[in-house]
Amino acid sequence: MDRIASAAGFRSAASRRRGLAKAMGLLAGAAVLCATGVAMAEPTTGRPVFDQVSNMFQPVSVPAAKIRDLALLVLAICGGIFVVVGGLIAYTLIRFRARPGDEHREPPQVYGSSNIEAAWTIVPVIIVVVLFLATARTINELELKEPPESALQVTVVGHRWWWEFQYPEYGIVTANELHVPASTPDAPRPTFLWLESVDVAHSFWVPRLAGKTDVIPNRRNTLWLETAQPGLYLGQCAEYCGTQHAHMLLRVYVHTPEDFARWVEEQKAPEAEVASVAAGRDLFQRTACINCHAASGTVADGTFGPSLSHLMSRETIGAGVAMNTPDNLRAWIRDPQTMKPGVRMPDMKLADHEVDAIVDYLVTLR
């Protein structure tokens, strides 16, 4: 699995405003730098190590880049207004401050001026019209309600508190870690997401790839992205959805087309039946696990919890609450409520040797 560290951002056609980008980059960069400095500290045991910052000013995908360009324009205009108005306030305060001896003298009483009022009404109106037109143009550019021919379509289903990803084209169902192909100039391949929820409202947000879109029950929203930059991009649920809203993380892996094809093949391949873990597999099939989880090659076809097919191809468990290691799996099965308080998975009260057997089986799901 490639995890190319974040290289330079997506080079969109509109990288003309580079000076501006630099200024904003400096600002955000300064914040990022000091922030990541602290992040180098030893990570808590079992927690995923994140090496990436989801800075919306380092877009790697077409929609995110378009938003960045528009945002820079807006920031420039607003920054200008702030300097002018803030400067005016400061100047007024200094220039017209009462001085000793002013206590009993009143300044000239001025009641207003229609000309000045007209000026400071018309100028803001013009600025607002400019901002509005720029906004309307970008809304129009980014709106895409139907998937283009070449697009990979994925159905994203929000659950409390994990993500289900269905690839109808390939018959793949996976969870929490979204894999998509990069789009190359010869073979453009945008990714088109259908967003659905089975319970409450969630929101799909991976800042470097696209703006967020809410995931609402009884409604089918759409979101698209197109990136040329393989890598891992982080995001998470952005609409408060209850107890574990904080642990509903998103990992999006962008692969080169070849790597993506390989990933698809791996996911479609049947699980290898490893004889030595037959006990664990039997136990898994005899307990309540199968009520909620599915696992290919077994009778398990539950849909309340994430599918466990090819579980070991994922890097995290519990929607990003811990790294996917045998030890963490064991701790998770033994007591999910400690690792992720409020999670829907109950403590199954299994004996230690039963937990071990099930984990032995699970780690063969590659």
Partner 1 sequence: MTAIDGSVLPAEAAARTSFWIRAHEWATTVDHKRLGLLYISSGLVFFLIAGLEASAIRAQLAFANNDLIGPNTFNRLMTVHGTTMVFFVGMPIFFGFGNYLIPLMIGARDLAFPRLNAFGYWLFLFGGLLFYFSWIGGDGLYGTGTAPDVGWFAYSPLTSPAFSPGNSTDYWILGIMVAGFGSTATALNFVATILCMRCPGMTLGKMPLFVWMMLVNGFLVLVALTPLTAAQVMLLFDRFLDSHFFDTQAGGSAVLWQHFFWVFGHPEVYILILPAFAVASEVTPVFSRKPIFGYEIMVAATTGIGFISLGVWAHHMFTVGLSGPVNTFFTASTMAIAVPTGIKIFNWLGTMWGGRIRLRMPMLWVCAFLFEFVIAGLTGVMLAVVPFDWQLSDSYFVVAHFHFVLIGGLLYNIFAGIYYWFPKATGKMLSERLGRWHFWVFVAGFNVTFGTMHFQGLLGMPRRIYTYDPGRGWDLLNLITSLGVILQAIGILFFLVNVLWSLRRGEDAGQDPWDAWTLEWSTTSPPPAYNFEKIPVVQSRRPLWDLKHPNDPDWRYE
> Which lies closer to partner 1 via its Cβ, residue 138 or residue 256?
138
Binding mask 14-43 for partner 1 (x = CB under 8 A): --------------x--xx-xxxxxxxx-x
Site for partner 1 in 38-57 (CB under 8 A): 38-41, 43-44, 47-57
255 CB-near residues (< 8 Å, 6+ apart): 2, 179, 180, 181, 182, 230, 263
In contact, 60 and 231? CB cutoff 8 Å? yes
Determine phi and psi for 165, rounding to 5 degrees.
Answer: -120, 120
Token couple for 30: 């300064």
In contact, 158 and 196? CB cutoff 8 Å? yes
Smallest gap from residue 75 Cβ to partner 1 (A): 7
Smallest gap from residue 67 Cβ to partner 1 (A): 5
Site for partner 1 in 335-354 (CB under 8 A): 341-342
Site for partner 1 in 248-307 (CB under 8 A): none
DSSP string for 10-60: P--TT---HHHHHHHHHHHHHHHHHHHHHHTSPPPTTSPPP-----TTS--
> Which lies closer to partner 1 via its Cβ, residue 1 or residue 75?
75
- Return the residue of 1, 20, 71, 348 that touches partner 1, per CB under 8 A: 71
Pairing of strands 322-323, 213-215: unpaired
Smallest gap from residue 47 Cβ to partner 1 (A): 6
Bridge partners of 195, per DSSP, are: 156, 221
Smallest gap from residue 264 Cβ to partner 1 (A): 28
Smallest gap from residue 171 Cβ to partner 1 (A): 27
179 CB-near residues (< 8 Å, 6+ apart): 252, 253, 255, 260, 263
DSSP string for 161-178: TEEEEEETTTTEEEESEE
> Which lies closer to partner 1 via its Cβ, residue 122 or residue 278?
122
Smallest gap from residue 313 Cβ to partner 1 (A): 21
Smallest gap from residue 34 Cβ to partner 1 (A): 5
Token couple for 283: 């136990």
Site for partner 1 in 80-119 (CB under 8 A): 81-82, 85-86, 88-89, 92-93, 96-99, 102, 105-113, 116-117
> Which lies closer to partner 1 via its Cβ, residue 80 or residue 168?
80
- Tell me which stretch binds partner 1 (CB under 8 A): 129-137, 166-174, 267-275, 293-301: 129-137
Token couple for 289: 């696990």
In contact, 316 and 324? CB cutoff 8 Å? yes
Token couple for 150: 């070449």
Please report whether residue 241 would count as binding partner 1 according to CB under 8 A: yes
Write the burial class of residue 251 (CB in 10 Å: 0-12 exposed, 13-18 middle, 19+ buried).
Answer: buried
> Which lies closer to partner 1 via its Cβ, residue 66 or residue 179?
66
Pairing of strands 162-167, 152-159: antiparallel
Q: List the one residue out of 337, 315, 335, 333 whose CA is nearest residue 324.
A: 315
- Tell me which stretch binds partner 1 (CB under 8 A): 165-173, 180-188, 236-244, 304-312: 236-244
- Tell me which stretch binds partner 1 (CB under 8 A): 212-220, 224-232, 278-286, 351-359: 212-220
The label of the residue with tokens 């191809």 reads 313
Smallest gap from residue 195 Cβ to partner 1 (A): 8
